[in-house]
């Protein structure tokens, strides 16, 4: 069973604090990495967490505000200095590509690897070996997107008695069937559906980026195993959240409850709060399975049936 982890590399909003860097999150599954946003200094956090610079990596940028994107240039330069040779997938608002081209040229970064850029839009924006990524427009002060990262599905539960009844020898052929592949036995084909239960969905991680709530967002994030949501403000500061097109911790919890997610991680905290304990308490009054993200926190995302 593949381990799926989420590591918070930066959990502040707008400006860093002594304990929190700017927004960045790493999702890892075996050799695959997906980075959600790239706040300033993200490459140092990537190195600190042992994530590696030459893995199969995709970067999802939610919007073009400095706290979410300025670290991307440093990351590209550090990857090039480490002689990365694998293509890098980048998804983000269409204007992101122009910004990358202009700034990379001025700074003479000299990439050692190709970039596969996909403009963010509604629907599926990226498919990799391990994941499918979907996007929807967020409600922020600039063009912005929310993402759902969905692990590819698993074959159904394997039933050894069915395999024996079909005279499939134990060992290599069982393993192939468990991986969803047909096998040949005594001149006939045995399909995985004959010895397994219904296919099981992969794990799903939702990321709001910076946003206010709107009806389609809850539906988009429905059923996530982990929801990472903009919690810039405490509920008592809702007027500021509305003005600046962000969410409160209470609104994040209400969306998590409405979307039927399993766990909620609050992040993107305003530097005005020396402690976020009260934000967590308020959110848990609505959605008990809530935690506050912090820089360096690593979470394992389990299968719902594990």
Residues annotated as part of the active site: 67
Residue with tokens 């990537």: 46
Q: How many CB atoms lie within 10 A of CB 14?
A: 17
- Dihedral angle, C-alpha 260, 263, 267, 273, nearest 10 °: 100
Distance separating alpha carbons of residues 138 and 147, to the nearest angstrom:
9
Q: Contact at 8 Å (CB) between 253 and 290?
A: yes
Question: Could you give phi then psi for residue 61, rounded to 5 degrees?
Answer: -105, 125
Distance separating alpha carbons of residues 182 and 191, to the nearest angstrom:
5
Distance separating alpha carbons of residues 223 and 211, to the nearest angstrom:
19
Pairing, β 56-60 against β 88-92: parallel
- Residue 216's contacts (CB-CB under 8 Å, 6 or more residues apart) are 136
Structure tokens at 179: 């991986």
């Amino acid at each position: 069973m593949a381990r799926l982890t989420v590591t918070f590399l930066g959990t502040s909003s707008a400006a860093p604090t002594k304990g929190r860097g700017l927004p960045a999150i790493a999702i890892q599954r075996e050799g695959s990495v997906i980075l959600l946003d790239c706040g300033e200094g993200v490459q140092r956090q990537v190195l600190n967490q042992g994530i590696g610079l030459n893995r199969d990596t995709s970067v999802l940028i939610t919007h073009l505000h400095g706290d979410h994107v300025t670290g991307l240039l440093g990351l590209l330069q550090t990857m090039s200095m480490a002689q990365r040779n694998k293509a890098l997938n980048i998804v983000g608002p269409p204007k992101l590509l122009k910004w990358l081209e202009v700034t990379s040229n001025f700074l003479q970064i000299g990439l050692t690897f190709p970039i596969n850029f996909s403009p963010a839009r509604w629907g599926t924006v990226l498919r990799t070996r391990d994941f499918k990524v979907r996007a929807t427009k967020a409600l922020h002060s600039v063009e912005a997107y929310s993402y759902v990262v969905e692990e590819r599905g698993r074959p159904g539960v394997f039933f050894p008695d069915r395999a024996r009844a079909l005279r499939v020898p134990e060992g290599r052929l069982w393993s192939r069937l468990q991986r969803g592949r047909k096998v040949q036995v005594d001149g006939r084909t045995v399909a995985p559906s004959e010895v397994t239960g219904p296919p099981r969905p992969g794990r799903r991680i939702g990321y709001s980026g910076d946003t206010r709530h709107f009806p389609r967002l809850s539906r988009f994030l429905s059923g996530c195993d982990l929801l990472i949501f903009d919690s810039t403000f405490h509920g008592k500061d809702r007027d500021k959240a509305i003005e600046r097109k962000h969410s409160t911790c209470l609104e994040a919890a209400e969306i998590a409850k409405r979307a039927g997610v399993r766990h909620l991680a609050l992040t993107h905290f305003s530097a005005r709060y020396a402690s976020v304990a009260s934000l967590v308490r308020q959110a848990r009054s609505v959605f008990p399975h809530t935690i506050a993200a912090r820089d360096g926190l690593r979470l394992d995302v389990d299968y719902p049936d594990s």
